């Protein structure tokens, strides 16, 4: 098999032993795969070390956007394929990436199908299109700590055919943990920048449940649809109530107090 030498794949990871083996196996045709581990305590690091094309880096997590940008500095190439540690690319996608003549004034998107365990989620998480290939000499991820994205500026957007299978959760406990982690990152990133209130927290949470479960017809995903809708509600509630607390602490802080 021809090796892909002009694109580096960059993955930030923490405790992804359930998916990282399949992700890295799918990337076997890449010469350079950067795995940036930020504190795994499971078998993730040992699994990554088994792959000869993997360049393993261990460092700190400083928010999703900043961490992804920092991890990309370890890549051998300017062209970056950014994947999450729970996203498994198809052979069709890899083949089409290899065939595509990349242009500096463009960024490239891929289609993603979402799963809970081995069940495809068709309504709460409909298939989405995400920009994941870019030239780091031209652009990068935003510095947002959560909900980061690649800055497109005046760049053209092009779709590469193929699919990524996304396995963001495999247990109910992971929903709870991510709700807490993501809401904290959001609050810290927006403290002093965005306003919030208990009412805003309540109505954002309530609306996100209604939107996911009813408007998107999440109920058609079975019990998992209820879990996802409730998780969205909890995450949004805690995002804004944590932000409210942090803003209140900043406001209440006396001048000159450290």
pLDDT tens profile 155-204:
999 999 999 999 999 999 999 999 999 999 999 999 999 999 999 999 99
Inside any domain, residue 257: no
Based on the structure, what is the number of domains in the chain? 2
- Are residues 150 and 230 both part of a single domain? no
- Are residues 12 and 123 both part of a single domain? yes
What tens digit of pLDDT does each residue of 61-103 get?
999 999 999 999 999 999 999 999 999 999 999 999 999 999 9
Cα–Cα distance between 68 and 34 in angstroms, integer? 11
- Are residues 63 and 113 both part of a single domain? yes
The boundaries of the domain holding residue 222 are 172-252
Residues 6+ positions from 21 with CB-CB distance below 8 Å: 47
- The residue out of 133, 149, 169 marking a domain boundary is 169
- Are residues 31 and 61 both part of a single domain? yes
Inside any domain, residue 83: yes
Query: In angstroms, what is the C-alpha Rg of the chain?
Result: 19
- Are residues 137 and 16 both part of a single domain? yes
- Are residues 64 and 112 both part of a single domain? yes
- Are residues 176 and 164 both part of a single domain? no
Helix axes 172-190, 223-252, angle to 10 degrees: 30
Inside any domain, residue 258: no
């Amino acid at each position: 098999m021809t090796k892909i030498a002009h694109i580096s794949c960059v993955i930030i990871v923490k405790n992804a032993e359930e998916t990282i083996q399949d992700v890295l196996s799918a990337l076997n045709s890449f010469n350079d795969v950067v795995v940036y581990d930020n504190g795994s305590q499971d078998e993730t690091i040992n699994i990554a070390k088994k792959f000869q094309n993997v360049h393993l880096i261990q460092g700190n997590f400083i928010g999703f956007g900043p961490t992804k940008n920092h991890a990309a500095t370890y890549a051998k190439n300017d062209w970056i394929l950014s994947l999450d540690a729970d996203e498994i690319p198809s052979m069709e996608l890899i083949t089409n990436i290899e065939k595509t003549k990349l242009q500096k004034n463009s960024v490239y998107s891929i289609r993603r199908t979402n799963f809970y365990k081995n069940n495809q989620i068709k309504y709460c998480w409909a298939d989405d299109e995400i920009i994941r290939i870019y030239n780091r000499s031209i652009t990068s991820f935003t510095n947002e700590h959560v909900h980061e994205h690649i800055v497109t500026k005046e760049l053209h957007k092009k779709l590469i055919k193929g699919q990524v299978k996304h396995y963001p959760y495999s247990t109910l406990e992971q929903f709870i943990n991510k709700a807490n982690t993501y809401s904290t990152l959001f609050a810290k990133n927006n403290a002093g920048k965005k306003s919030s209130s208990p009412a805003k927290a309540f109505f954002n949470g309530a609306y996100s449940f209604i939107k996911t479960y009813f408007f998107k017809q999440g109920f058609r995903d079975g019990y998992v649809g209820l879990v996802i809708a409730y998780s969205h509600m909890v995450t949004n509630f805690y995002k804004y109530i944590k932000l409210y607390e942090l803003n209140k602490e900043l406001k209440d802080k006396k001048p000159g107090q450290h």
